[in-house]
A and B are shown apart, each in its own frame.
Chain A
Amino acid sequence: SQTIHQWPATLVQPVGSPLSLECTVEGTSNPNLYWYRQAAGRGLQLLFYSVGIGQISSEVPQNLSASRPQDRQFILSSKKLLLSDSGFYLCAWSVGRGHYGYTFGSGTRLTVV
């Protein structure tokens, strides 16, 4: 069966420090991969999506970047964190165009201090 792993679960980082959040999917090939951010009371905002290795689409300009070095690995990064980067980050995957829904990871709670 397919599973998605996301880590760490919680992270407290100082302003200006780098960030690396990792997401891996098991049990499927060539998934579409997504990073969402959920800020308090603001729903989910799509940050990046990827339809294949090295293919990244950015939805909003921001202080973050994403990479997909392997088929089932999706990484969210920042060189210098801002206070506004705090939030709950969710990775998700889908088969093809996602018309059957997404499967989400358990999320990373990032607090920038």
Chain B
Amino acid sequence: AQSVTQLDSQVPVFEEAPVELRCNYSSSVSVYLFWYVQYPNQGLQLLLKYLSGSTLVKGINGFEAEFNKSQTSFHLRKPSVHISDTAEYFCAVTRSSNTGKLIFGQGTTLQVKP
């Protein structure tokens, strides 16, 4: 079975600083990977996804992530954060061959300070 570990529950960062949110997954089979963002009391919005091809994936709002198969990681990065990026971020994985059930990590709260 797949699992996802988000290594940091909270990440405080100052505005305009770079940020990296870490995600590791475990799976014995080929997977697809996703990052979602959740603003308070709202649903989740897809930031980016890795299905195949280039390991560097660019998403919305200036975020990008890099798939590293050897390290089973899919870390999310942004070179310069804004106050509006304050939210909870979820990494998710699904097997490439099954019904598409997404397994989510526990989430990382990004707190951008002025």
Contact = CB atoms under 8 A, between A and B. Distances in A.
Interface of A: 6, 32, 34, 36, 41-44, 46, 49, 51, 59, 88, 90, 92, 94, 96-107, 109
Contacts of A6: 43
Interface residues of B, number: 25
Interface of B: 9, 32, 34, 36, 41-46, 49, 51, 90, 94, 96, 98-107
A85 B87 CA distance: 24
- Which 3 residue pairs are nearest across A and B when measured between Cβ atoms? A98-B100, A97-B100, A104-B43
Contacts of B103: 46
A103 B102 CA distance: 12
B43 A90 contact: yes
B104 A98 contact: no
A53 to B, nearest CB: 16
Contacts of B44: 44, 90, 92, 102, 104
B86 to A, nearest CB: 17
Contacts of A106: 42-43
Interface-centre pick from B41, B44, B99, B104 (highest chain A CB count, 10 A) = B44
Contacts of B43: 6, 90, 92, 104-107
SS of B interface (majority) = loop
Contact of B90 (A32, A44, A51, A107): A44
Nearest to A32: B100
A18 B59 CA distance: 41
Interface-centre pick from A32, A90, A97 (highest chain B CB count, 10 A) = A97
A102 B99 contact: no
A100 B42 contact: no
B46 A101 contact: yes
A51 B51 contact: no
A76 B11 CA distance: 34
Given A44-B90, A99-B94, A107-B42, A49 B99 contact: yes
A101 B59 CA distance: 13
B41 A94 contact: no
Given A49-B101, A99-B94, A99-B96, 5 more contacts: A92-B43, A97-B98, A100-B51, A102-B46, A103-B46
